Structure 1
Amino acid sequence: MITKVKISDVRFPLDGHAGSDAIHRDPVYSYAVTQLKDDSGITGTGFAFTLGEGNDLVCKAAEYYARQLTGKDIEDTMANFGELFKKLSNDQQFRWLGPHKGVVHLALASVTNACYDLWAKKRGVPLWKLLIDLSPEQIVNTLDLSYLEDELTYTQALEMLKGQQSQKEERKTILYKGYPGYDTSIGWFNYPDELVRENCKKALAEGFTAMKLKVGSVDPDRDIRRAHIVRDVAGDGIKVMLDANQQWNLPQAIEICTRLKGMNPYWIEEPTHPDDLNAHAKLAQAITPVKLALGEHVPNKIIFKNYLQSGSSSFMQVDAVRVGGVSEFITISLLCKKFGVPVVPHVGDMGQLHQHLVLFNHIAMGHQALFLEHIPHLQKHFVHPAQIVNGVYKTPQEAGSSCDLVGLKNQFL
């Protein structure tokens, strides 16, 4: 059973303008870390991602949730985790601070992810293997499908997963080939043009076949110029994505996205405010065939459901350290599968946890193995950093979810 709980506020300042975008010019990559230790001595680690200020608030909320797990057996907990998730996310007082968004939901992500890590470590397997080996019933029992009944019931979720069982074995070839990555660090917002150019060349040399540039400048001509630099260096055969990080209002987005059509972006990401569903719907119609991607700042399954119903986004970037953790990530992936929309996660975890989840999405759910974002800046801080070779994520073999941090390894000793 879980005997000890530890919450840590961990922050990593970045060098050389890394991580900068149109809105977040000086980020401090930070984690609200939950560690759960059980009576066998195993420690499960999970976290939520922030950009610095307020990370302590998430930690305080995570402590509230985590204390409620003390004395629980992890196998018993995960056998019906969907009900526990529903109970915690609807805490009668804490829920007022959301509901299902902001500090309290980030905190729940941290605790939820620690539960999944402990579960996998207890079984001695990587998280991806634990998940793909679970039966459809066991998977669905870890999910909270409340407020989704108009689109996804328990029975429908079960049937969707059962329908994929016969093809699981052939899709396991991805475990040997590795999951494709894309380089999201070629063009951080504050990088000068020449550095963007050199980073594009480096990404190509490292085997990446897709890359992303930050846009959203006060002067749109800067965005146009830089986008064409990336396209010119990458060539027509490489996927190039553009990310505005919510910078534009709708009229600006229509004008600038129309101008960006000329360099053939694979998608334009977070073009305007993430809560403005109608603006995204209007923009998607105005700039077709250019496609939109969003999800980095979409906080929960209900808002994802609404975006899917609107048909405005062609790619969903659900992040398990942003929504309520692995459980809600899987729930949203099921919704996306129903609507035929690819899941391409945002990686506030730097790809550590999501390298497991995209394997599950592909093998057990039948999602396309498109690619997974790669951000290298915190690799030295992980006990088992994600391995990228020739632009491809190599399948992790260590037990757990790859989220143990070097500085917290012996926290309970």
Structure 2
Amino acid sequence: MIYKVAVQDARYPLDKSAGSDAIHRDPVYSYAVTQLLDEGGWTGTGLAFTLGAGNDLVCQAANYYAQRLIGHDIEAVMADFGNLFRAWSNDPQFRWLGPHKGVVHLALASVTNACYDLWAKKRGVPLWKLLLDLSPEALVQTLDFSYLEDEMTAEDALALLTSQQNDRRSREGILQSGYPGYDTSVGWFNYSDEQVRSNCQQALDAGFSAIKLKVGSEDAERDIRRAYLLREVAGPEVKIMLDANQQWNLPKAKAVCKKLAAMNPFWIEEPTHPDDIQAHQTLAQEIAPVKLALGEHVPNKVLFKNYLQTQSAAFIQVDAVRVGGVSEFLTISLLSKKFGIPVVPHVGDMGQLHQHLVLFNHIAMGHKALFLEHIPHLKKHFVHPVRINHGVYETPQEPGSSCDLLGV
């Protein structure tokens, strides 16, 4: 039984321009950390990710949700978590502040993720194994399909999961081989051309075959020069993703993306405002076959549904520490599978939690094991940091979701 909760504001300043992009020039990687203390001696840890200012507001909201879990057994909580998630996300006091977005939804992510972590620890297994061991019926009970019923109901999700059961075993080899990663830290926005060139070579030497460059400069020629520089160093076979972090308006996005097309980007990420679905649909049509990736700042399943319906995104980058946690992440993954669109998460938690979720997506849903973003800057702060070997995530074996922080 949960007898106590604690919510902490953990902030980690970065050095040497790491983490910088076209919008966020001086980030402070921060977590709203929810801890659920169980009488059996377990502590469930859940994270929501921010870039500093306002992290305290997320913590206040997380405490509001977490207090309601005191006196409850985690097994009972998770047996019907979908209905609990729906009730929390529609809280009569907090819904006005969203709905389903912003500070209150980030807070819900932190508490939701703590529930899944405690559940896995109490069962003594890594989160990926807990999820894989659940029956399709039990998994669906942890999800909320409200506002998705025009595209996916709980019955639809159950049918999809059940349809993947027969050939699951053929995909379980990834637990031994590991999940491929890609390196985002090659091309942070504030890095010089020389540093981008050097970082690219280091990433290739470390075994990565996919890398990312931050674009979105006021002077588009800087972006174009750096993109072609990176292609020159990496060679024609390496996948290069370009991330504008919402900096362009639609006319500029059209112009710059067309100039970038010849260097063969694997995708162009967040080209304009994340709420402007129509602009993304227009851009996707005009720059094809260049593809768009979206999701880092898409806060909920309803907007992801709209992006999928309008064929605006070729890759879905849902982030379990941005949407309402593991539950909503899995819901969006199921919806994406229905539309045949791969899920390639943004890793606001530095890959800790998502290394579990992509394994489940691949094995249980049949999502392609494309790759998972890797950002190393906070690894030293985790009790069980992600392990990367020759560009591949090693499968975590410790109980829980790998989110425990040192000193927190």
TM-score bracket relative to the smaller structure: over 0.9
Deviation at 1:355, TM superposition (A): 0.1
- Match of residue 306 from structure 2: 306
The residue matched to 1:53 in structure 2 has which SS?
Answer: coil
Alpha-carbon distance in structure 1 between the residues aligned to 2:32 and 2:79: 26
The residue matched to 2:407 in structure 1 has which SS?
Answer: helix
Deviation at 1:285, TM superposition (A): 0.8
Give CA deviations for 1:315-347 in whole Å, capped at 9, x if unaligned: 000000000000000000000000000000000
Alpha-carbon distance in structure 2 between the residues aligned to 1:117 and 1:141: 17
Matched to 2:146, the amino acid is: S
Deviation at 1:273, TM superposition (A): 0.1
Once superposed, which parts of structure 1, at least 4 consecutive aligned residues long, lie more than 2 Å away?
A: none
- Match of residue 138 from structure 2: 138
Alpha-carbon distance in structure 2 between the residues aligned to 1:30 and 1:117: 19
Alpha-carbon distance in structure 2 between the residues aligned to 1:309 and 1:138: 28
- Match of residue 179 from structure 1: 179
Alpha-carbon distance in structure 2 between the residues aligned to 1:321 and 1:60: 16
Give CA deviations for 1:93-151 in whole Å, capped at 9, x if unaligned: 11100000000000000000000000000000000000011000011000000000000
- Match of residue 382 from structure 2: 382
Deviation at 1:257, TM superposition (A): 0.2
Within the alignment, does 1:25 sit opposite 2:12 as a pair?
no
The residue matched to 2:49 in structure 1 has which SS?
Answer: strand
Deviation at 1:170, TM superposition (A): 1.3
Please give the root-mean-square deviation of Cα atoms over the aligned residues, in Å.
Answer: 0.4
Within the alignment, does 1:149 sit opposite 2:123 as a pair?
no
Alpha-carbon distance in structure 2 between the residues aligned to 1:76 and 1:169: 30
Alpha-carbon distance in structure 1 between the residues aligned to 2:140 and 2:181: 28
Deviation at 1:399, TM superposition (A): 0.2
Within the alignment, does 1:192 sit opposite 2:192 as a pair?
yes
Give CA deviations for 1:210-269 in whole Å, capped at 9, x if unaligned: 000000001111000100111011111100000000000000000000000010000000
Matched to 2:374, the amino acid is: H
- Match of residue 123 from structure 2: 123
- Match of residue 335 from structure 1: 335
- Match of residue 285 from structure 1: 285
Within the alignment, does 1:402 sit opposite 2:381 as a pair?
no
- Match of residue 411 from structure 1: none
Deviation at 1:3, TM superposition (A): 0.4
Alpha-carbon distance in structure 2 between the residues aligned to 1:164 and 1:37: 36
The residue matched to 1:68 in structure 2 has which SS?
Answer: helix
Q: Structure 2: 5+ residue runs without aligned partners?
A: none
Alpha-carbon distance in structure 2 between the residues aligned to 1:116 and 1:349: 15
- Match of residue 372 from structure 1: 372
Within the alignment, does 1:44 sit opposite 2:49 as a pair?
no
Deviation at 1:41, TM superposition (A): 1.1
Alpha-carbon distance in structure 1 between the residues aligned to 2:2 and 2:12: 29
Alpha-carbon distance in structure 1 between the residues aligned to 2:71 and 2:330: 26
How many pairs are equivalent?
A: 408
Alpha-carbon distance in structure 1 between the residues aligned to 2:258 and 2:407: 46
- Match of residue 81 from structure 2: 81
Alpha-carbon distance in structure 1 between the residues aligned to 2:304 and 2:200: 32
- Match of residue 218 from structure 1: 218
- Match of residue 393 from structure 2: 393
The residue matched to 1:165 in structure 2 has which SS?
Answer: coil
Matched to 1:383, the amino acid is: V
Give CA deviations for 1:165-214 in whole Å, capped at 9, x if unaligned: 11111111000000000000000000000000000000000000100000
Alpha-carbon distance in structure 2 between the residues aligned to 1:252 and 1:68: 47
The residue matched to 1:350 in structure 2 has which SS?
Answer: coil
With normalisation by structure 1, the TM-score equals 0.99
What fraction of aligned residue pairs are identical, expressed as a percent? 74
Alpha-carbon distance in structure 1 between the residues aligned to 2:150 and 2:17: 44
Alpha-carbon distance in structure 1 between the residues aligned to 2:157 and 2:333: 11
- Match of residue 353 from structure 1: 353
Alpha-carbon distance in structure 1 between the residues aligned to 2:167 and 2:404: 32
Alpha-carbon distance in structure 1 between the residues aligned to 2:273 and 2:94: 26
- Match of residue 275 from structure 2: 275
